[in-house]
A and B are shown apart, each in its own frame.
Chain A
């Protein structure tokens, strides 16, 4: 079990009031109050940073293991068993380890992290995750000098995951990061959202979240983290290398062959809300742009 005291769970409406209260003092007392919330974008008062509702976050998901329609993950994941659950950290490391979810939640304290999520399909959400930096988890092992990349493997369990019975993607779901990207403090191990335990449809019991990359980079229900020498081929790269690159940084200047990435639609804003401009690195450029200095991001999309 992930350790959140019951009393620590805040109902969504109170949660939102608290947020708007923090926002209002934040606006009054300038950025001083703001700086207590980690990594919140400067334009906090704008629509762009209004939290997406718990309902939308938990019923509108891309999680093909449970089906390809947006409502499938919520519908088909409720009886999914997330306990017992072990995560292996292996590959180019001195001593591979295996940690249970219990051990992980004892070792690391999950904090609230509000990040924007930008899907490659052109929509976005703002999600109050609970989690901690992946670097903390990775520091439990010593990578060898061969290690250059980190690979994430999601669970393979077609008995419980309907979608895996069809060759929609190259199962199990596979994603990867360069080591410096994986060690970046914004790269988060997620264990919950809205102060609650992570729902199954959002990747329980444990997923990663990389706020400056398109959503599909953030693998769900992870069972294996592997240090490797060569750039991993992710499931989406297997499916269509022309459309999905290894980096997949949010970039309004590089179009996906099927969708323009210049703008996005904010989930929950209603029929009449206009699209908004997509920000480079999803607005986290100040923190992460230096990771890619000197790289041609059109080529390394």
Chain B
């Protein structure tokens, strides 16, 4: 079973693609399809950030190292969905018309922080391979702590784009805070040892 678990997680992680393909094929994207596509991938990016961040706490809780083997894949899926999210905004919505886009990035704080989060994901994706882990040694860990900042940026991106106090961004915020608190606990208990 555990031999196939990675394959299983891989195909499960493609869920957002299945959903959007179904909606495109059966014309179920609704009255504002472009918005729907952008939001769909934005939300799934956040979910994958949270999933990625859950693996270490799950390892501690279940006392099983199994979870860690999914972490890289989930992280890369985060980058994958963040890229589709960004590209659908740049390409589908703004048709690569860079003048209003640059204006948006500089003037709208939610776009600025979202774009920053995507930029920060690049070094993580680039250094995700086994070779890079060995090459960078201790620095690898330091670089990959960026994911905490990316998580915060991502959730802020969602909160700032909401018109008023909405339910969903708050849920993401609460889960993120819980996951980050785990880190503080972990490092504390680790330093005690």
Do A and B interact with each other, yes or no?
A: yes
Give the CA-CA distance A267 to B30 in the complex, in Å.
9
Contact indicator B92/A271 (Cβ below 8 Å): yes
Chain B 140-166 per-residue mask, 1 if CB under 8 angstroms from chain A, else 0: 000000000000000000001101111
Chain A positions 244-276 with a Cβ under 8 Å from a chain B Cβ: 255, 257-260, 262-263, 265, 267-268, 270-271, 274-275
| A275-B93 contact, Cβ under 8 Å, with A59-B31, A265-B34 | yes
Give the CA-CA distance A53 to B167 in the complex, in Å.
30
Contact of B164 among A68, A259, A274, A275 (CB under 8 A): A68
Question: A167's closest neighbor in chain B, by CB?
Answer: B165
Q: Distance in Å from the Cβ of B6 to the closest Cβ of chain A?
A: 34
Contact indicator B33/A60 (Cβ below 8 Å): no
Contact of B100 among A56, A257, A260, A271 (CB under 8 A): A260
User: For the complex, is A169 an interface residue (Cβ under 8 Å from B)?
Assistant: yes
A-B contact count (CB 8 A): 55
Give the CA-CA distance A70 to B104 in the complex, in Å.
24
Chain B 4-34 per-residue mask, 1 if CB under 8 angstroms from chain A, else 0: 0000000000000000000010000111111
| A270-B165 contact, Cβ under 8 Å, with A258-B108, A260-B103 | no
Contact indicator B30/A60 (Cβ below 8 Å): yes
Which residues of the partner chain B approach A59 to less than 8 Å between Cβ atoms? 31
User: For the complex, is A239 an interface residue (Cβ under 8 Å from B)?
Assistant: yes
User: For the complex, is B66 an interface residue (Cβ under 8 Å from A)?
Assistant: no
Which residues of the partner chain A approach B161 to less than 8 Å between Cβ atoms? 258
Give the CA-CA distance A9 to B160 in the complex, in Å.
44
Contact of B108 among A121, A167, A257 (CB under 8 A): A257
Chain B 66-97 per-residue mask, 1 if CB under 8 angstroms from chain A, else 0: 00000000000000000000000000111100
Give the CA-CA distance A259 to B92 in the complex, in Å.
16
Give chain B's interface secondary structure class.
helix
Which residues of the partner chain A approach B165 to less than 8 Å between Cβ atoms? 167-168
User: For the complex, is A85 an interface residue (Cβ under 8 Å from B)?
Assistant: no
Contact of B94 among A169, A240, A259, A275 (CB under 8 A): A275
User: For the complex, is A156 an interface residue (Cβ under 8 Å from B)?
Assistant: no
User: For the complex, is A171 an interface residue (Cβ under 8 Å from B)?
Assistant: no
Which residues of the partner chain B approach A259 to less than 8 Å between Cβ atoms? 108
Give the CA-CA distance A167 to B164 in the complex, in Å.
10
Contact of A274 among B24, B95, B104 (CB under 8 A): B95
User: For the complex, is A123 an interface residue (Cβ under 8 Å from B)?
Assistant: yes
Contact indicator A267/B32 (Cβ below 8 Å): yes
Q: Distance in Å from the Cβ of B85 to the closest Cβ of chain A?
A: 15
Give the CA-CA distance A60 to B29 in the complex, in Å.
12
Which residues of the partner chain B approach A274 to less than 8 Å between Cβ atoms? 95
Interface centre among A59, A71, A274, by most chain B C-beta atoms within 10 angstroms, is A274
Give the CA-CA distance A240 to B160 in the complex, in Å.
12
Give the CA-CA distance A255 to B108 in the complex, in Å.
10
Contact indicator A262/B164 (Cβ below 8 Å): no
| A265-B164 contact, Cβ under 8 Å, with A257-B108, A260-B100, A260-B104 | no
Chain B positions 89-118 with a Cβ under 8 Å from a chain A Cβ: 92-95, 100, 103-104, 107-110
User: For the complex, is B37 an interface residue (Cβ under 8 Å from A)?
Assistant: yes
Give the CA-CA distance A107 to B48 in the complex, in Å.
59
Question: A273's closest neighbor in chain B, by CB?
Answer: B34
Contact indicator B95/A60 (Cβ below 8 Å): no
Write 21 A-B pairs (CB below 8 A) sorted by A numbering: A60-B31, A68-B166, A70-B32, A121-B163, A167-B165, A168-B164, A169-B164, A239-B164, A240-B164, A257-B109, A258-B161, A259-B108, A265-B32, A265-B34, A265-B93, A267-B31, A268-B31, A271-B24, A271-B37, A271-B92, A274-B95
Beyond contacts A70-B32, A121-B163, A267-B31: 18 other A-B pairs, Cβ-Cβ < 8 A, are A60-B30, A60-B31, A68-B164, A68-B167, A71-B30, A169-B164, A239-B163, A240-B164, A255-B107, A257-B108, A259-B108, A260-B100, A260-B104, A260-B108, A265-B34, A265-B93, A270-B33, A274-B95
**Which A residues contact B (CB, under 8 angstroms)?**
56, 59-60, 64, 68, 70-71, 121, 123, 167-169, 239-240, 255, 257-260, 262-263, 265, 267-268, 270-271, 274-275
Top 8 A-B residue pairs of the complex, sorted by shortest distance between their CB atoms: A60-B31, A56-B31, A271-B33, A267-B31, A168-B164, A239-B164, A258-B108, A260-B100
